[in-house]
A and B are shown apart, each in its own frame.
Chain A
Amino acid sequence: MLSRVADSIYWMSRYVERAENVARIVDVNLNILLDSTMADQQWQPLVNITGDHEDFAKRYQVANQHTVLQFLTFDRDNPNSILSCLRSARENARSVREIISSEMWLQLNQFYLTVKAAAESGRGLDSPHEFFTNVKLSSHLFTGLTDATMTHGEGWHFSRLGRKLERADKTSRILDVKYFILLRSVADVGTPFDDVQWAAVLRSSSAFEMYRKRHGRIAPKLIVEFLLLDSEFPRAIRYCLNAARDSFHAISGTPIGTYRKPAEKLLGQLCSDLAYATIDDVMGEGLHEYLDTLQSKMNLVSLGIHERFFAKRVPETRHSSMEKMQ
């Protein structure tokens, strides 16, 4: 597969997943606010966890519901807004239209046009919950079409690799929302409102019901364990990284447990770490610190994937090119 094509498929999936997760992060905060009795609404943490707070500060005076929703949803100048993510996803898809299935293209094109129309109408966020639910569903539909209509070959594995890495990163950030909010409201710890917040974190990852089946009661430590270390829940970080690792190996042809390139090694190590970590270790280190380290490592994996598969190369001699072909 052409390196440029692999690159586009990988980022197409990542951007769709990113758009979905921005919707999730915003939605969880809206849900928390509905149950909140505090006059002081917390919107700044949302900008912080996306990592784009500097960009935000340049163009917006205050962080309130209106500005943050605008920034994260329809702001064309924020490359990680839902609209920008979908525009990038669609641009990538457009450059590989002949590789992906036409169903995937139709759905993604429609998805983008719908959000674009909402942005242009000026009334796109009149019922925010409905809007964000639609974003999530459209993303699921795209993922489902990818699984159901595209050959599960190299291209599909690149798509899955991108999606799972993005999801692992974003689940870690959703867990962090709770951290940032806690910082601001230590007095709430252990109160019914705290439970409400934790339940909202679960809901934002579509994990509430699955978690209840597994653990029953709402306990912060168990929730963190579920979203971080569970090997069966599809939005849990460990599950995502395992799937990313499987796809990486399917592409490179290296057996799992061995490696040829740094990115493959690092990803394998991450999976092992999560397999043997206990929740007490994590909390002992500090959840925020743990997640921060995890995010930097995942970024390194991402860079390594670029190096290994997408970067431009120059053939040295015929001999070496033939070797590479084999």
Chain B
Amino acid sequence: MKLSNYEVGNFFDEMFGEDGRPRVAARPLAKKIESLPMGELFNRQQAADRALVQAGITFNVYGESEGVEKTLPFDLVPRIVPSAEWDRIERGLKQRIRALNMFIDDLYHDQRIIKDGAVPDHIVSTSKGLRAPCIGLNPPRGIWCHITGTDLVRHSDGEIYVLEDNLRCPSGVSYVLENRRLMKSLFPEVFEASRIRPVSNYPIRLRDMLEYLAPEGVTTPRVVVLTPGVFNSAYFEHSFLAQQMGVELVEGGDLVVSDGYVWMNTTNGFERVDVIYRRIDDDFLDPETFRADSMLGVPGLMKVYQAGNVALANAPGSGVADDKVVYAYVPRIIKYYLGEDIILPNVPTYICAEPADFKYVLEHLPELVVKAANESGGYGMLIGPHSTAAQREEFARRITANPRNYIAQPTLSLSRVPTLVDGHLEGRHVDLRPYILYGKDIFVLPGGLTRVALKKGSLVVNSSQGGGTKDTWVLADSPATLAADEMVPGAAQNQGQSQSQSQSQFQTETPSATQVAGASA
């Protein structure tokens, strides 16, 4: 398949340089793609699609009754991140998470940062993520944001910017692991040639982190994943992570609070639960503390948590720091707590609550992206250049009515990655969500979820709005980096075993899918 027809366009392309030649890091992959006969890439893509349906790797779509499960579209051509660039991203993310954790802890205690005037009081006190029951709370080991997914984008200037922080229940990591499994079976040769940092140890890291949070005196903690149930859009991920960690997946109805502890209802009576990786939002966690109409949570859970008899990850109340207005203050937050300059810059942000910015935003709506402070999934957003006059008027009204709830940013020209469209490659815009675990130390999973806007010209990468995913290859600069990543202290044996098992399973499964796809094409 020829790559010479591929058009880089006026964008930063992750695979090709401005001269149209593959970047150094992408050369083995480019060579591989060029060596494939016409149509072969398409065949492999079909094999991948089939494998996803057969394995039931799906997400649920709200509001559709029959056939509610869809597979997240997966594109074969990976995003490649050079080693040195990744190292900087990793340092930047660690810095950010460390500061945000200190920020959350400060907000629920002395609020020094507000007293010292680095962040205005009204921004914090009106944040929808602020949880009064968490004031004065000391989570286990002083950690609030155990699992974070931070969205990164690259602008046409080549710089990587932080677009937003997700500190509540970031999802998507299961796709990172499953995409990698697929890619290994479809392009084993390129893996050998490229030396890509592994991601498969994520579940082990996650479990280690969760066990680290166990209450004092518990030597073999029982960890569970708490899911809203099979109808949740991310149910596959909840189930997958529980399975990969080797822990129980529970629903609210399986848990009960009694005598100051949390118990789960088993066929043999009640067993104590020590650590809960909850994939339920704060609001639904405990009807006695938060929303009384929640059917998903566990009545009395917060009392047990406050008494230190169970750990919750992420800590309730940590969402205060992923407010999109708080985001604008992160450079100042980092400076305040760490005395450092931010390593990975924020996208320049106009805060509508500040009079000068408010005026600027209303005057420049056609060229800005406006976001509501507490919406996710690409909702509550105005993309200026793609908007109609009516939409802009509507947003101007909303912003004027509630300036605190809005920020605006210049429209970024997201970088692109070649993507298979109707049998040939076209550039599509991408972002990147790396996953960060905060336990004994801070661990950044090398890579993360590359989301791609599959619609031509679209900048919205969310799965609910026509987005897909790609594998993300972070290259290792030396064999040592590879080996070090592969090894987890005390668990190296287990990991080797589960990895090779999952691979061999995949190898028996996929070639047949390839044949079928090949035969029908």
Using a CB–CB distance below 8 Å, which chain A residues touch chain B? Answer: 1-6, 91, 94-95, 97-99, 102-103, 105-106, 109-110, 113, 154, 251, 309-310, 312-315, 317-318, 321, 323-325
Contact = CB atoms under 8 A, between A and B. Distances in A.
B263 A315 contact: yes
A321 B266 CA distance: 11
A102 B266 contact: no
B265 A313 contact: yes
Given A4-B254, A321-B258, A251 B267 contact: yes
Nearest to A90: B56
A97 B243 contact: yes
Contacts of B267: 1-3, 6, 154, 251, 309-310
A315 B253 CA distance: 13
27 contacts: A1-B266, A1-B267, A1-B268, A2-B248, A2-B264, A4-B265, A94-B235, A94-B239, A95-B230, A95-B239, A97-B239, A97-B240, A98-B242, A98-B243, A103-B505, A106-B54, A110-B54, A154-B267, A309-B267, A310-B267, A312-B253, A313-B265, A321-B258, A323-B269, A324-B268, A324-B269, A325-B269
Nearest to B51: A106
B230 A3 contact: no
Interface in B238-281: 239-240, 242-243, 248-251, 253-254, 256, 258-259, 263-271
Given A312-B253, A312-B265, A315-B263, A109 B55 contact: yes
B100 to A, nearest CB: 31
Nearest to B270: A321
A113 B50 CA distance: 12
Interface of A is mostly: helix
Nearest to B269: A324
Contacts of A94: 56, 230, 235, 239
Contacts of B254: 2-4
Interface in B483-521: 505, 509
B248 A102 contact: no
Q: Size band of the B side of the interface?
A: 20 to 34
Contacts of A105: 55-56
B53 interface: yes
A251 B266 CA distance: 12
Given A2-B250, A91-B230, A325 B270 contact: yes
A109 B251 contact: no
A312 to B, nearest CB: 7
A106 B270 contact: no
Task: From B53, B258, B268, name the one whose CB has the most chain A CB atoms within 10 angstroms.
Answer: B268
Contacts of A325: 268-271
Contacts of B230: 91, 94-95
Given A317-B259, A324-B268, 16 more contacts: A1-B266, A2-B250, A2-B267, A3-B254, A3-B267, A94-B230, A94-B239, A97-B240, A105-B56, A106-B56, A312-B253, A313-B265, A315-B259, A321-B259, A323-B269, A324-B269
Contacts of B240: 97-98
A110 B53 CA distance: 9
* Pairs A-B, 4 closest by C-beta atoms: A324-B269, A98-B243, A318-B259, A315-B258
A102 B249 CA distance: 16
Contacts of B253: 4, 312
Nearest to A109: B56
Interface string B6-25: 00000000000000000000
Given A91-B230, A315-B256, A102 B265 contact: no
Contacts of B54: 106, 109-110, 113
B263 A113 contact: no
B144 to A, nearest CB: 27
Contact of B266 (A2, A91, A95, A318): A2
A1 B270 CA distance: 10
B243 A321 contact: no
Interface string B201-230: 000000000000000000000000000011
A312 B251 CA distance: 13
A94 B236 CA distance: 8
A325 to B, nearest CB: 5
Nearest to B225: A98
A65 to B, nearest CB: 27
A91 B60 CA distance: 13
A324 B55 contact: no
A309 B269 CA distance: 9
B265 A3 contact: yes
Nearest to B265: A3
A99 B249 CA distance: 9
A157 B243 CA distance: 20
A205 B264 CA distance: 41
A315 B271 CA distance: 11
B519 to A, nearest CB: 18
A11 to B, nearest CB: 14
Task: From B248, B265, B271, name the one whose CB has the most chain A CB atoms within 10 angstroms.
Answer: B265
Given A2-B265, A4-B253, A318 B56 contact: no
A321 B269 contact: yes
A287 to B, nearest CB: 37
Contacts of A321: 258-259, 263, 269-270
Nearest to A94: B230
A110 B513 CA distance: 13
Contacts of B271: 325
Contacts of A5: 248
Nearest to A107: B54
A42 to B, nearest CB: 34
Contacts of B243: 97-99
